[in-house]
Amino acid sequence: MPSYQEPWKKPFLSTPRFSDAKSTRTLESLCKQAPDLSKPGVITPERIVSMTSRGAGLSLLYGFQRVDQPILTALQALADEREVVGQMQALFSGKPVNFIEGFDSEQRAAIHPATRDIFEQEVVHDPAVRQLVEAEIQKLRSFFSENTFDTLLFIGIGGSELGPHAILEALKPYYLPSKKVHYLANVDPDEMSVALRGIDLTRTLVAVVSKSGTTLETATNEARARHAFEQIGLPSKAHFIAVTCPQTPMDDLTRYAAVFHLFDFIGGRFSTTSVVGGVLISFLCGSNTFIEFLSGANEMDRLALRMDIRENLPLLLALLAVWNRNFLKLPTTAIVPYSSALHRFTAHLQQCEMESNGKCVDRFGHLVPFSTGPIIWGEPGTNAQHSFFQLLHQGSDIVPVEFIGFKESQFKEDFLFKGTSSQDKLIANLFAQALALAIGHINENPNKNFAGNRPSTIILGKRLDAKTLGSLLALYEHKVAFQGFLWGINSFDQEGVQLGKLLAEQILKVIRARRSGQEDTTANPVGGRLLDILDDVTALRGL
Ligand code: G6Q
């Protein structure tokens, strides 16, 4: 029996493909008459209010997008036709949604909602998974309640660093007194030299984070960090903890004071709410803050299972992104938080979106005849207004923007200057930019004319605390998955990253052989031509 007859695979494989869906045809025709936001009377206060969805502590304002009621109805129809909520349900129930039908692929679950499903209303319904997750949280609680270190050196890369780093930058007001952190991701030796300068190793805990337990950059940085401890006579084991999957080379209590487990069913870039983020948050802010963070994410998880796109914020955000990408044909999206605390958040989302949806084959391994994941980029505002916003307002390409802002500041230490607080200025700028992009500004001088009709979405929260941050993170995690479900691609593997890891091993083999004066002619799994060229290149560099 072909595997696609497994009932849970039906929404993935038996629904009309994105390019064949009836609602795709409707949307193609509707986009010819998409509302022109610059026309007088289109952007009104009533529109902004009626085009706002709320949930899990966030409001999503989509009145500045080029949509109207018929378009929203067709987007809902697209979500229904592609059965994307059914696909999300399969993800929540732990089915191996990471697959390509008929080809060798990872065949893994991507059940990150389980990492925060520890509250009253369960969303995952798998007692075994719940037990695993709760046991790790308990381990974190007891380990960090006895922690006496004041500095954390966090070693990890990609999915094992970007999300947790972004989150901890955003939680600074909640740090326990005297706790400090340094991050080491790159294998650039200078990054390590900078990190090691000025830290007191006797008071430092090192968290080595790697899902696979084999990533070269992380292993290299760990080895050098251990060397630094041992050089001054400190037993490294007492200072090192590991975060990894069971049974990897790092799952080894003879080398670490503690090992925390994430699991095969949690993807690297979706692991921020697992012990990967848990170690950092527990060290810097305490376990209660970690639980609050999880509760926000869990609240958003519940919304991600709603059928109505006005209630399902992640699905709405995903559909608006697909509308911009596939119908208005816009190739990039800027994510601009009006909050310095979120200064690493766009970098994390860049990975989450581009690693997940930077794919060009569908679930059957066929090349897709449409565009998939856009390029994601951005920096915090208002700083960004003084750099790339010129292009957003008057450039030859239209770039949809996702603005993120908060009504209140984190520290609530504000100052009135010229009659307004800094937070007033921040949020007023956010709205002013969204409005100016939409309605433009007519001037007879073409150089000072702003055509407008440039779309954006505003995501608004009350205050950036741990709970809101969890909810914001989950909003984007599910946005990414929903886009993949709509396009019918597999958002959960990363063959492009694996190729990089393989190439690095190969080139290092060549360098190692050269250093020791022997040529290494062993088999090359990435194909002879690539290695031959790499070989020539390293020779040219005189390595
Ligand atoms: C994320 C990717 C990738 C991964 C890093 C680090 O989803 O798979 O960015 O997180 O390559 O991998 P390890 O955690 O295994 O060291």
Contact criterion met (CB below 8 Å) for 20 and 29: no
Instruction: Tell me the whole-structure pTM to 2 decimals.
Output: 0.95
Nearest of 82, 78, 24, 35 to residue 327 by alpha carbon: 24
Residue 518 lies in a domain: yes
The finding on whether 494 has its CB within 6 A of some atom of ligand 1 is: yes
Pair (264, 135) in one structural domain: yes
**C-beta of 269 in contact with ligand 1 (< 6 A):** yes
SS3 assignment for 407-444 = CCCCCCCCCCECCECHHHHHHHHHHHHHHHHHHCECCC
Q: Verify that 214 and 136 share a domain, yes or no.
A: yes
**Residue 172 is part of which domain span?**
112-295
Cβ atoms of 300 and 53 within 8 Å: the answer is no
Same domain assignment for residues 191 and 210: yes
Atom of ligand 1 nearest to the CA of 215: 16
Q: How far is the CA of 319 from the centre of ligand 1 (A)?
A: 27
**Is 300 part of a structural domain of the chain?**
no
355 is catalytic: yes
| DSSP one-letter string for 299-334 | HHHHHTT-SSTTT-HHHHHHHHHHIIIIIS---EEE
Q: State the distance from the centre of ligand 1 to the C-alpha of 12, rounded, in angstroms.
A: 25
47 Cα–ligand 1 center, Å: 42
Are 466 and 342 found together in one domain?
yes
- Find, among 332, 410, 419, the residue nearest to 377 by Cα: 332
Report yes or no on 141 lying in a domain. Answer: yes
Q: Is residue 301 part of a domain?
A: no
Atom of ligand 1 at shortest range from CA of 158: 9
Domain harbouring 366, CATH code: 3.40.50.10490
**Per the residue annotation, which of 386, 412, 418, 444 is the catalytic one?**
386
Taking the centre of ligand 1 as the mean of its atom positions, its distance from the CA of residue 282, in whole angstroms, is 22
* CA of 25 relative to ligand 1 center, distance in Å: 38
Q: How far is the CA of 215 from the centre of ligand 1 (A)?
A: 8
Number of domains in the chain: 3
Same domain, 316 and 271: no
Ligand 1 atom at minimum distance from 244 CA: 14
Encoding tokens for residue 121?
Answer: 């209303």
| Model pLDDT, residue 539 | 64
* 19, 52: one domain: yes
DSSP code, position 230: H
- CA 408 / ligand 1 centre spacing (Å): 35
358, part of any domain: yes
Ligand 1 pocket test, pick from 154, 162, 497, 502 with the greatest ligand atom count within 8 Å of Cβ, gives 497
Q: How many CB atoms lie within 10 A of CB 158?
A: 21
Mark whether 356 and 455 lie in a shared domain. yes
Q: Is the CB of 212 inside a 6 Å radius of any atom of ligand 1?
A: yes
Closest-lying ligand 1 atom to the alpha carbon of residue 217: 16
Ligand 1 neighbourhood includes 346 CB (under 6 angstroms): no
- Single out the residue in 493, 513, 528 at which a domain terminates: 493
- pLDDT means per 10 residues in the chain (543 residues)? 74 97 98 97 97 98 98 98 98 96 94 95 92 96 93 98 98 96 96 92 98 96 97 96 98 98 97 98 97 98 98 98 98 98 98 98 98 98 98 98 98 95 97 98 97 98 98 98 98 92 82 72 56 65 61
**Residue 125 annotated among the catalytic residues of the structure:** no
Among 292, 355, 402, 477, the active-site one is 355
Hey, what amino acid is at 58?
A: L
Does 347 lie in the same domain as 413? yes
Q: Quick check: CB of 151 below 6 Å from ligand 1?
A: no
Catalytic residue among 343, 425, 501, 509: 501
Is 89 near ligand 1, meaning CB less than 6 Å away?
Answer: no
Q: Per the structure block, which two tokens stand in for 30?
A: 């509707």
Report cis status (omega within 30 of 0) of the bond before 115. Answer: no
Both 243 and 357 in a single domain?
A: no
Q: Is the CB of 76 under 6 A from ligand 1?
A: no
- Whether 146 and 244 map to the same domain: the answer is yes
Tell me, yes or no, whether 34 lies in a domain.
yes
Token pair 């041992």 in the structure block, residue: 230
Note whether residue 227 is domain-resident: yes
Q: Tell whether 135 and 257 lie within a shared domain.
A: yes
DSSP, collapsed to helix, strand or coil, labels residue 529 as: helix
CB of 497 within 6 A of ligand 1: the answer is yes
175 and 260 housed in the same domain: yes
User: Is 491 a pocket residue for ligand 1 (Cβ < 6 Å)?
Assistant: no
Q: So what's the pLDDT on residue 1?
A: 41
Apex CA 237: angle with CA 235 and CA 241, to 5°?
A: 140
Inter-residue contact 185 to 217 (CB < 8 Å): yes
Among 208, 212, 244, 356, the mutation site with the greatest number of ligand 1 atoms within 8 A of its Cβ is 212
Cα-to-centroid distance, 210 and ligand 1 (Å): 7
> Measured from the CA of 269, which atom of ligand 1 is nearest?
7
CA distance linking residue 3 with residue 141, whole number of Å: 42
Residue 463 lies in a domain: yes
